[in-house]
Structure 1
Amino acid sequence: MVEVESGDVFAMRDSAYSEILNEINEKREKPSAALLFGLGFGLLGLLAVAVAGPIGIIIWLLGLGAWAFGAWLDSYQRTVVLFYDLEGDTQAAYEQVIQSFDRMAASHGKWHIEAGGSVQDLTTWKRNAGASHIVKRSPTTLTYALPKAVTCNVTPPSIHVGKQVIYFLPDVAFIDDGRKVGAVSYADLTVQWQPSNFIEEGTVPRDCEIIYRTWKHPNKNGGPDRRFRDNRQLPVCRYEAMHMRSANGVNELVEFSKAGVVAPFVQALKAMPKRAKQHSSLQINASG
């Protein structure tokens, strides 16, 4: 099994976004005023309750106000504000990205492929329903969200890919590992798709195409190996895989149960205007 995993997001840099990335990552490192104030007053209130009784409850309640004040401070001190003024071709292209993303998100089955490998011996082949490749996968989430410490007038589509999340903003893709944020421009992001036949032992998504059935433990001639008691037929489903790569470290594989949904998304990303053209119709303001 070979892992399908992106590199360190800190190495995912783009010169056009270095200033914004530095600001986001610096603000993430700042201590949370809401946590410090709330925790401080909360502990002080508990101590006061033990010593002074009812008066301590008042101090403890003040901790809620302190937490709210800290959250207000965090909204200024620990937040980067991005503003997009979309118009013309850029707006139309981004709408296509969103519409095609919605079709992918509507698939009943969505998985992140963590690792994969080819089957090279007969025993493994028999125990895996005659599969030529085996993969390690887990359900994934497609949603609209922003990275932590970022506020924006656009809430972009995002895909969870294991330990990281990819956010598809109007001009760039942010990659977030929970600690740091990296970026890759659409001009540098390669996205490919292809049909994927998968022998499904779990619940079969109702929107997939079953192309044929195989035995859980087959013989070389394709029939059932009767030495195995639990030898039932399994559906071979036609899924669709999307592979995202970049020279600065992105390497992620996602699979969908419904065929025909990935190609429109890939074409929409390819149709996004190039950076030089974007700057004439797109304004980005970063502050905080």
Structure 2
Amino acid sequence: MAWSYRKRIKVIPGVHLNISKRGISTSIGVKGASINFSKSGTRLNTHVLGFSNSFQLSGSNSRSKSRSNLNLSPVQPSQPNVNIPVFFEDTIFSADVHEITSQNMQGIKEAIILAQKQKAELTADLKKIKRTLSFTKTKKILGYLFIYGLINKNIIPQLNTDITAQQEAIDSTNDMIEKCYVNLEVDFDNDIRSKFEDVYECFKKLTGSKKIWDITSAHFQDRVAARSSASKLVSRKEVKFSLKSLPYIKSDYPALYLKNANGADLYFYPTFVVMYTNDNHFGIIGIDELKLYHSSLRFTEESEVPADTKIIDRTWAKVNKNGTRDKRFKSNYQIPVVRYGHIKMNTDTGLNEEYQFSNYELAEQFGKAFKIYQSEFLSKVF
């Protein structure tokens, strides 16, 4: 089945999202001059008086091939400091959002920043107009109180005209503020749209998991020394998933919102993912660059077992090497072993997040649906 899509999606005037067989890129500019952001780098395109030029501003083609002739002295390895403690804990977190943005998503980020700037400027203008309107209404009231408005019959009509104009300006400014957003319109064919809707529906079900945890760190432990059946210890914080869009992006579907306990939250849109802390601190990743893995895992649950979790085995708080109960501990007690869902996401630019779900079946359904959609999307684009 052929894939129907717009090769140039208009985001806001002067900004386009380009989707083609070569991949996803964004362009900023007007006819005659534009800047294109793609995986291969940043390129300036100009067309003046019938002459076209293209300049590589960054990327593989713009790198200097010259080498330095400096003589570098070999660096001696430093001696180990025996006073420095060694930690085996592996903290799980993403890089700073300013470092995460994909090269081909820079244009979308610039469009969002522009929308934010426009809204801030219009909001400031709106406050000024409202203050002016309030002052004009006060002048009108004073005109009646001090009679000078009755003596000079042109004052009140002029103030009424000003009030009407200022109210119209307020309405117009409010309307422009409402339009300060990036409008994401992707025209998929029925096949690929259906696959994204599967992702959407599976995510809605996933939000109903009794427990969702953000895994913030994990490290291996010596099972024999700890007398434990668990070979890996994790630190986790309970979070919530929901459908929640960012104010500066409008799409046919609400974003799939993933709360992040130790960093920027994630917002999944059909063609990209936004990592968002606040209006000045966010990054954007192309859906083609995201690596998502899903699996089920055995977990020794020492807390209360969620209602939608399946207990698959039992162990003891203290065990022998072969996993049997260590009878030397009188207060030894049984612990349920459960099956949880697990989703891990990362990118080459620095995204690194892991989540755990009390309902492994819902996590598996979402993971499979997303992989199918992403595979279909990439097969049509690349």
Give TM-score scaled by structure 2 length. 0.57
SS in 2 for 1:6: coil
The letter of the residue matching 1:14 is S
Identical-residue share of aligned pairs (%): 22
Q: What is the number of equivalent residue pairs in this alignment?
A: 251
Q: Does 1:88 align with 2:190?
A: yes
Q: 2:220 aligns with which of 101, 118, 121?
A: 118
Alpha-carbon distance between aligned partners in 2 of 1:130 and 1:270, rounded to the nearest angstrom: 33
Contact 1:25 1:181 in 2 (8 A): no
Residue 233 of structure 1, CA deviation = 1.5
Structure 1 contact 167–175 (Cα < 8 Å) conserved: yes
Structure 2 SS opposite 1:11: helix
Using CA pairs under 8 Å that are at least 6 residues apart, name the structure with larger relative contact order, 1 or 2: 1
Correspondence 1:7 to 2:105: no
Distance 2:178 2:229 in 1: 55
Task: State how 1:7-156 maps to structure 2 within 5 Å.
Answer: 7-28=95-116, 31=120, 37=127, 74-77=177-180, 79-120=181-222, 122-123=224-225, 125-126=226-227, 129-156=228-255
- Superposition map of 1:241-280 within 5 A: 241-272=342-373, 273-274=376-377, 277=380
The answer to whether the Cα contact below 8 Å between 2:224 and 2:320 also exists between their aligned partners in 1 is no
Amino acid at match of 1:265: F
Post-superposition Cα deviations, 1:180-213, rounded to whole Å, max 9, x if no partner, equal: 2322222221111222111112120112121211
TM-fit CA distance, 1:73: 6.3
**Equivalent position amino acid for 1:141 in 2:** K
Distance in structure 2 (CA, Å) of the matches to 1:200 and 1:174 = 33
How far does the alpha carbon of each residue in 1:122-153 deviate from its partner, in whole angstroms, 9 at most, with x for none? Answer: 55x24xx4321100001121100112433334
Task: For structure 1, list consecutive stretches of 5 or more residues without a partner in the other structure.
Answer: 42-64, 280-288
Show structure 2 runs of 5+ residues with no match. Answer: 1-88, 132-166
Report what 1:55 is aligned to.
Answer: none
Aligned: 1:184 with 2:272: no
- The equivalent of 1:174 in structure 2 is 274
User: Once the two structures are superposed, what CA deviation does each residue of 1:14-46 show, in whole Å capped at 9, x if it has no partner?
Assistant: 3443222112235446758769959x99xxxxx
| Distance verdict in 2 for CA 1:212–1:84, change over 3 Å | same
The verdict on how the C-alpha distance between 1:37 and 1:265 changes in structure 2, with shifts beyond 3 A counting, is: same
Corresponding residue of 1:160: 259
Residues 122 and 90 (structure 1), Cα distance of their counterparts in 2 relative to 1, 3 Å cut? same
Secondary structure at the aligned position of 1:100 is classed as helix
Cross-structure match for 1:240: 341
* Cα offset, 1:262, TM superposition: 2.8
Q: Which amino acid aligns with 2:98?
A: F
CA contact (8 A) 2:91 2:218 kept: yes
Whole-Å separation in 2 of the counterparts to 1:137 and 1:69: 48
Distance (whole Å) between structure 1 residues aligned to residue 259 and residue 267 of structure 2: 9
Contact 2:105 2:286 (8 Å CA) reproduced = no
Q: Which moved further from structure 2: 13-22 or 217-226?
A: 217-226
Residue 234 to residue 68, structure 1, CA distance change in 2 (3 Å): farther
Secondary structure in structure 1 of the residue aligned to 2:296: strand
Between the aligned partners of 2:107 and 2:258, the Cα distance in structure 1 is 24
Q: Distance in 1 between matches of 2:209 and 2:265?
A: 19
What is the alpha-carbon distance in structure 1 between the residues aligned to residue 282 and residue 172 of structure 2? 27
TM-score, normalization by structure 1: 0.73
Cα distance in 1 between the residues matched to 2:249 and 2:121? 15
RMSD across aligned positions (CA): 3.4
Moved more, 102-111 or 21-30: 21-30
Counterpart AA for 2:277: D
The one-letter code of the counterpart of 1:161 is N
Q: Is 1:209–2:297 an aligned residue pair?
A: no
CA distance in 2, matches of 1:101, 1:16: 26
Q: Distance in 2 between matches of 1:143 and 1:224?
A: 44
